[in-house]
């Protein structure tokens, strides 16, 4: 029990002591704000760029124990979900908090399948992009644009309206993602085929050509489904924080999710698997690995796909992806970079530099290899990530909307600029310029 635990703080500026309650390993920033507060001075605040030690919410969506390498969605271990569930069932779990009955599942799958089409004007909008537009930029714009097609979405206090937008977004994301992919290739957009499963339909929209019906390889569909499950949520990461922060203004969920996509677009968040591929290609062959590792240890560069802010153990998603590699390569043939990756991992895991710093493969170490084998160009990697993360963003957004404690996100700052300068009109300032 932590309820009766407290923290005693002595403010040495005044000699005053304060007793702050500790709940769930946290103190309330608002309680700190009472320290040293006077009529003229604000109370004590916390300075925490990047929110590295600040809990912004209570959440029951995802649990991570980085030291032990544990990831659970709504209490279910990721390993079990990846092995025994489907992406749509996991999406239901994340959104609703519990696993569906058969009837709930069938209804959910039906609803999602029913909403895979988008308005023809969304298609026109996407066709208006330049031939070489980045698919992630296209995805984020088109998801944002959906808010104009469903203006009722701004009524976020109505659970029925909310549910409808959640369904629409999970349903339409593969359509928008696949069309962004086809656009860059100058190929016609493929409409959804609602006879197929979620992932099979996605493959069809990506790769169908002149055949009347696309026949997806079930092993590839399964591997892609697993990858989507692995990316479905990861608690308060950068993009989820963006969704929550923008969502806290009570904007519609399309706008909030497009903020999440924008955050994921950044190389520090969604781009590491592309960096892994580039690194493996640069290493080129197993013989070059020792020299590469020496370079990493000398601080010349990083071993991409290794290390994680939260996981100080094997990222559980990396273990699962490694297995998925075998299934995909059985169909596509082995990606020659796999051999280098495996050898690199073996050497790194035995090397004191990596052991001492608790650097293990993360989710990105192997995912790029699979995506490349599936013929995705690197620009598509973050789009795949975004499709997988959509149920997580929406589950977190729904939790935010229902959370009575949440307020509009509005951090404090420490002001470092000038004060009380005298403004001189432009004409006077410029008159003195030589
Ligand atoms: N290769 C070599 N050394 C590394 C690596 C790496 N990949 N990652 C961390 N280190 C070293 C650091 O240099 C540091 O060493 P030092 O103590 O001698 O200075 C030590 O390990 C601790 O690293 P930090 O940078 O403090 O760890 P942090 O938690 O800030 O960084 C991060 C985590 C950004 C993921 C980092 O490990 C990294 O850059 N990895 C490579 C990029 C990558 O794979 N990113 C994907 C993350 S997963 C995801 O976003 C979905």
pLDDT digits (tens, 9 = 90+) for 248-260: 999 999 999 999 9
Ligand 1 centroid – CA 302 distance (Å)? 8
Please list, in sequence order, all residues whose beta carbon lies within 8 angstroms of the beta carbon of residue 40, skipping any fewer than 6 positions away.
Answer: none
Nearest CA to ligand 1 atom 47: 308
Please list, in sequence order, all residues whose beta carbon lies within 8 angstroms of the beta carbon of residue 270, skipping any fewer than 6 positions away.
Answer: 136, 239, 264, 381, 382, 385, 386
- Give the tens place of pLDDT for each residue, 251-301: 999 999 999 999 999 888 888 888 899 999 999 999 999 999 999 999 999
What are the structure tokens assigned to 37, written together?
């507060």
Sheet holding 62-65, edge to edge: 62-65, 70-73, 76-77
Residue 18 burial class via C-beta count within 10 angstroms: exposed 0-12, middle 13-18, buried 19 and up:
middle
Q: Which DSSP category does 96 fall into?
A: H
Indicate whether 434 pLDDT > 80: no
Ligand 1 centroid – CA 21 distance (Å)? 34
Ligand 1 centroid – CA 360 distance (Å)? 10
In order of start, what are the domains of the chain with their CATH numbers? 3-46 (no CATH), 70-404 (1.10.580.10)
Q: Mean pLDDT score of the chain, rounded to an integer? A: 95
Nearest CA to ligand 1 atom 21: 357
3-state secondary structure of 117: coil
- Give the tens place of pLDDT for each residue, 354-389: 999 999 999 889 999 999 999 999 999 999 999 999
Would you state the pLDDT for residue 233?
Answer: 98
Q: What is the DSSP string of 327-346?
A: HHHHHH---THHHHHHHHHH
In angstroms, the CA 182 to CA 400 distance is 35
| Residue whose C-alpha is closest to residue 112's, from 140, 83, 91, 96 | 91
Ligand 1: nearest atom to the Cα of 296: 2
Instruction: Give the number of other Cβ atoms within 10 Å of residue 389's Cβ.
Output: 27
Ligand 1 centroid – CA 307 distance (Å)? 5
Nearest CA to ligand 1 atom 31: 309
Please list, in sequence order, all residues whose beta carbon lies within 8 angstroms of the beta carbon of residue 166, skipping any fewer than 6 positions away.
Answer: 95, 253, 394, 398
**Residue pair 240/61 in contact by the 8 Å Cβ criterion:** no
- Is there an atom of ligand 1 within 6 Å of 306 CB? yes
In angstroms, the CA 386 to CA 259 distance is 11
Indicate whether 335 pLDDT > 90: no
Would you state the pLDDT for residue 41?
Answer: 86
Taking residues 56-73, report their average pLDDT.
Answer: 96
In angstroms, the CA 367 to CA 309 distance is 18
Indicate whether 1 pLDDT > 60: no
Nearest CA to ligand 1 atom 11: 357
Would you state the pLDDT for residue 22?
Answer: 97
Would you state the pLDDT for residue 2?
Answer: 47
- Is there an atom of ligand 1 within 6 Å of 359 CB? yes
- Is there an atom of ligand 1 within 6 Å of 233 CB? no
Would you state the pLDDT for residue 156?
Answer: 98
- Give the tens place of pLDDT for each residue, 158-203: 999 999 999 999 999 999 999 999 999 999 999 999 999 999 999 9
Taking residues 98-123, report their average pLDDT.
Answer: 98
- Ramachandran assignment for 250, one of left (phi > 0), alpha (psi -120 to 50 degrees), beta (any other): left
Strands 62-65 and 16-21: unpaired
- 3: confidence class by pLDDT, cuts 50, 70, 90: low
Instruction: Give the number of other Cβ atoms within 10 Å of residue 40's Cβ.
Output: 5
Q: Which DSSP category does 191 fall into?
A: P
Which residues have a catalytic role annotated? 269, 308, 364
Would you state the pLDDT for residue 327?
Answer: 87
In angstroms, the CA 73 to CA 91 distance is 10
Nearest CA to ligand 1 atom 38: 307
**Which of the listed residues 307, 352, 358 should we mutate to test ligand 1's pocket, taking the one with most ligand atoms within 8 A of CB?**
307
């Amino acid at each position: 029990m932590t309820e009766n635990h407290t923290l005693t703080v002595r403010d040495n500026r005044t000699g005053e002591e304060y007793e702050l309650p500790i709940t769930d390993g946290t103190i309330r920033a608002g309680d700190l704000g009472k320290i040293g507060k006077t009529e003229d001075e604000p109370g004590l605040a916390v300075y925490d760029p990047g929110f590295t030690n600040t809990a912004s919410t209570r959440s029951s969506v995802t649990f991570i124990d980085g030291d032990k390498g544990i990831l659970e969605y709504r209490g279910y271990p990721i390993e079990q979900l990846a092995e025994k569930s489907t992406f749509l069932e996991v999406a239901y779990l994340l959104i609703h908090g519990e696993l569906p009955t058969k009837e709930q599942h069938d209804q959910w799958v039906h609803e999602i399948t029913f909403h895979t089409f988008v308005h023809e004007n969304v298609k026109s909008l996407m066709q208006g992009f330049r031939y070489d537009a980045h698919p992630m930029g296209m995805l984020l714009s088109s998801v944002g644009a959906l808010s104009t097609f469903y203006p009722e979405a701004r009524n976020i206090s109505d659970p029925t309206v909310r549910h409808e937008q959640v369904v629409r977004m999970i349903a339409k994301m593969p359509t928008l993602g696949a069309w962004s992919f086809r656009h860059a290739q100058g190929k016609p957009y493929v409409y959804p085929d609602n006879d197929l499963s979620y992932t099979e339909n996605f493959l069809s929209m990506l790769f169908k050509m002149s055949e009347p019906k696309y026949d997806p390889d079930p092993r590839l569909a399964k591997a892609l489904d697993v990858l989507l499950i692995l990316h479905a949520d990861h608690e308060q990461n950068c993009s989820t924080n963006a969704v929550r922060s923008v969502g806290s203004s009570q904007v519609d969920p399309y706008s909030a999710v497009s903020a999440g996509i924008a955050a994921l677009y950044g190389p520090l968040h969604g781009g590491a698997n592309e960096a892994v591929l580039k690194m493996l290609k640069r290493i080129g062959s197993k013989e070059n690995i020792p020299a590469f590792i020496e370079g990493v240890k000398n601080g010349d560069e990083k071993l991409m796909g290794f290390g994680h802010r939260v996981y100080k153990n094997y990222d559980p998603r990396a273990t699962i992806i490694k297995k998925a590699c075998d299934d995909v390569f059985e169909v596509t043939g082995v990606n020659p970079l796999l051999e280098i990756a495996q050898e690199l991992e073996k050497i790194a895991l035995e090397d004191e530099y990596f052991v001492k710093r608790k650097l293990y493969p993360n989710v990105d170490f192997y995912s790029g290899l699979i995506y490349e084998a599936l013929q995705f160009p690197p620009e598509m990697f973050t789009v795949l990530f975004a499709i997988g993360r959509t149920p997580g963003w929406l589950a977190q957004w729904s939790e935010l909307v229902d959370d009575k404690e949440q307020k509009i996100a509005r951090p404090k700052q420490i002001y470092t600029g000038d004060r009380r300068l005298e403004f001189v009109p432009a004409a006077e300032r410029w008159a003195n310029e030589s």
